[in-house]
Structure 1
């Protein structure tokens, strides 16, 4: 994990390896990070869901990737970049229940086709860019309610 501190921005870059033995580590660390910052439980839950779904996609479909979380005064961004197979049809992949998961992935209880649709549902802003044979980049943004913004100086 790489951590960078700017004046009012905290950036964490988490490496993610493919394979289920690594699944859930990053989202757990992100959840702990946000809890230490006393953010609302609903925001922590949404960020954790988005991060876990992105992490599971990397573990399921890619050799490796990174998840970058930036905590800013008014919002949180999550960016997941993988070196995987890419997505042939993004529009189809966004349909709830659509899955390209292998039988092996499904036998482990994953691959229900809810990952990308959940990421979109729990993000205020969601963008996806994918190139077949190269990988996928997800960008998510979640707003922090005004009452939790830092005081103006």
Structure 2
């Protein structure tokens, strides 16, 4: 693999039945490519958490995954409300998910903490009223 393989996904807002399809597809493709199980697990967890956050909070968005021999980069971009307090949002257990979402088993406040835990680098670029872009890297 000389150049990056780029995969793109659209995440639909409020569609919990399809949430996780992008991360599942990436997991499958990484397995076919022979990427280590540990790296696949990290990518799948981090990307799934981000995907769910986009469904719950952000009116959907787009995910771009770039795979090189050195790393897997996931960029999750949405046009949601933005994150008012990133430090607070990074605290385990903090959630702004509505009760209807919690009743489905989501919104426990572990999304962003797990995204950080399972990646080697994570950057959050957020602007209130405009949206959020989260870039995550898993080194191979």
Q: If the TM-score is normalised by the length of the shorter chain, which range does it land in?
A: over 0.9
> Is 1:8–2:36 an aligned residue pair?
no
> Is 1:29–2:41 an aligned residue pair?
no
The equivalent of 2:50 in structure 1 is 54
> Is 1:143–2:107 an aligned residue pair?
no
Q: 1:64 deviation in Å?
A: 2.2
Q: Secondary structure at the match of 1:22?
A: coil
The equivalent of 2:129 in structure 1 is 133
* Structure ranking higher on relative contact order (CA contacts 8 Å, 6+ apart): 2
* TM-score (norm: length of structure 1): 0.88
Q: Which runs of 4+ in 1 moved over 6 A?
A: none
Q: Given that residues 13 and 69 in structure 1 are in contact (C-alpha distance below 8 angstroms), is that contact kept between their aligned partners in structure 2?
A: yes
Q: Secondary structure at the match of 1:18?
A: coil
Identify unmatched segments of 5+ residues in structure 2: none
Q: Given that residues 22 and 59 in structure 1 are in contact (C-alpha distance below 8 angstroms), is that contact kept between their aligned partners in structure 2?
A: no
Q: 1:133 deviation in Å?
A: 1.3
Structure 1, residues 116-143: CA drift from partner, whole Å, max 9, x if none?
Answer: 0000000100100111111111001111
Pick the aligned partner of 1:76 from 68, 72, 77.
72
The equivalent of 2:40 in structure 1 is 44
Structure 1, residues 75-113: CA drift from partner, whole Å, max 9, x if none?
Answer: 110110011111100010000110001001100000000
Identify unmatched segments of 5+ residues in structure 1: 1-5, 145-153
Distance (whole Å) between structure 1 residues aligned to residue 3 and residue 132 of structure 2: 29
> Is 1:97–2:106 an aligned residue pair?
no
Cα RMSD after superposing both structures: 1.1
Distance (whole Å) between structure 2 residues aligned to residue 53 and residue 133 of structure 1: 22
Question: Alignment length, in residue pairs?
Answer: 139
Distance (whole Å) between structure 2 residues aligned to residue 63 and residue 126 of structure 1: 21
